[in-house]
Structure 1
């Protein structure tokens, strides 16, 4: 079966979720995947264990951000005015290009473009989401009334799929939603193997600092230099190689480690509230120091889930490198929570798709 997967490039959360589903579908059926996105190809090379075709394609606008926590709505609206609405004339060449792929099914992780393409080509479509862009944009409507037309257009597009999966923790339920458990990529290597590669001792406690798909430009780990057996791992824009400096390890943004393996190898995670980070931390029941995104509508939903399901606490982005954060790390890392058996929503999605379409 030829499957097109249209994936939002807003951070890496949507690509992470898509990769989890792709891996599961590959194990239960004969599939060929065509991935449409602007998420860098190296992410899929790192995340998938199967061959696929990668076609660089803008599949949505999402939110244009100046950093991991601040969105630029003026630039976002300008981008929406260029991207929307879809039309046969405007995208005729692209429709011809996609039709040559002879797709049997199109799956979209919140991509409205893929749903529209599927409708035009008469290909069954599936939506996978924990929010949709019309719901996100509603939050900004009072201050940016120009969004109203885009919201209406997107709301109609999101009614098109033949099947609709809503993943916990979800923001809104559609009347056609099939609710599934959190979707996460599963580990490949053991905790012991990764910790050995990172040159950690059995006594070392690893703190993973992650901002999802947006690397950290600024870091000041001096406050953590003399913290006994605590080790800190930072994915950053620079350097291009791995640097191990005392108890601080810097990784390049496109490092070779599989992120779920790093989560599993860690003893605590610090990160912004994003779907894939939350789902992967949840899957391993790790203590989580989270950084909220007050202006992003999804954030309160993820925060509620984290507070209910994980040993967790909140910190401010400006206080990551502070003695207060160090105190919170030491408090959380000494608290234990019995790991329960988690259901991967990717299994649920793959099994339902297989029964319906294969």
Structure 2
């Protein structure tokens, strides 16, 4: 076993991002000897732990908030713009701390690459580790926030990542 690690950062918004990642992770675990580091939200990782149970200790899980995504009005699919901007501002204020904590965990491991769907935390971790950064998604949060007309301060921060 070569013990190379693939670090996955799946958006903690919903389950679509995690299910897409699980299909890729399952294939990698079946066809390579890589180890997987999977960072996502608690709910998403609880699903992943069950789905990937047969791979045992080849997968290490980290329950963290990797994304805000969208915030909807109560009992609605309509986006609550003021609440979303507030949550994003709080989330962005903790980016540096979250990224530093992740880099501290991964820096001594032989990480081959960071694969992100499509967490800004994961992207920054890959950059700081100096490893290949692979993004998988059919959109970026920057595009979503631009479409919703969020604050330029928020959009600019996402655009830079």
- Where on the TM-score scale, by shorter chain, does this alignment land: which range? 0.7 to 0.9
Provide closer, same or farther for how the CA distance between residues 31 and 94 of structure 1 changes in structure 2, counting only shifts above 3 A: closer
Query: Is 1:122 the counterpart of 2:130 in the alignment?
Result: yes
Q: By how many angstroms is 1:115 displaced? A: 0.5
Provide closer, same or farther for how the CA distance between residues 32 and 82 of structure 1 changes in structure 2, counting only shifts above 3 A: same
Provide closer, same or farther for how the CA distance between residues 44 and 84 of structure 1 changes in structure 2, counting only shifts above 3 A: same
Aligned with 1:133 (options 122, 133, 141): 141
Q: By how many angstroms is 1:70 displaced? A: 3.2
Tell me, what secondary structure is at the counterpart of 1:15? helix
Deviations 1:246-290 (A, max 9, x none): xxxxxxxxxxxxxxxxxxxxxxxxxxxxxxxxxxxxxxxxxxxxx
Q: Which has the larger radius of gyration?
A: 1
Provide closer, same or farther for how the CA distance between residues 101 and 82 of structure 1 changes in structure 2, counting only shifts above 3 A: farther
Provide closer, same or farther for how the CA distance between residues 132 and 95 of structure 1 changes in structure 2, counting only shifts above 3 A: same
Residue segments in structure 1 that go unaligned for 5+ positions in a row: 158-358
Query: Is 1:56 the counterpart of 2:63 in the alignment?
Result: yes
Alpha-carbon distance in 1 for matches of 2:104, 2:84: 28
Deviations 1:143-176 (A, max 9, x none): x4x2x1222222232xxxxxxxxxxxxxxxxxxx
The count of residues paired between Structure 1 and Structure 2 equals 152
TM-score normalised according to structure 1 size:
0.40
Deviations 1:68-117 (A, max 9, x none): 62332222111111222644x77434422232444221100111110111
Of structures 1 and 2, the one with the larger relative CO (CA 8 A, separation 6+) is: 2
In proportion to residue count, which structure has more helix? Answer: 2
Tell me, what secondary structure is at the counterpart of 1:63? coil
Q: Kindly indicate whether the alpha-carbon contact (under 8 Å) linking 1:15 and 1:39 is maintained by their aligned counterparts in 2.
A: no
Q: By how many angstroms is 1:60 displaced? A: 1.4
Tell me, what secondary structure is at the counterpart of 1:139? helix
Alpha-carbon distance in 2 for matches of 1:109, 1:42: 17
Q: Kindly indicate whether the alpha-carbon contact (under 8 Å) linking 2:99 and 2:125 is maintained by their aligned counterparts in 1.
A: no
Alpha-carbon distance in 2 for matches of 1:94, 1:28: 27
Tell me, what secondary structure is at the counterpart of 2:17? helix
Residue segments in structure 2 that go unaligned for 5+ positions in a row: none
Instruction: State the partner residue of 2:157.
Output: 153
Spell out structure 1 runs of 4+ moving beyond 3 A: 89-94
Report the RMSD for the aligned CA atoms in angstroms: 2.1
TM-score normalised according to structure 2 size:
0.83
Query: Is 1:44 the counterpart of 2:48 in the alignment?
Result: yes
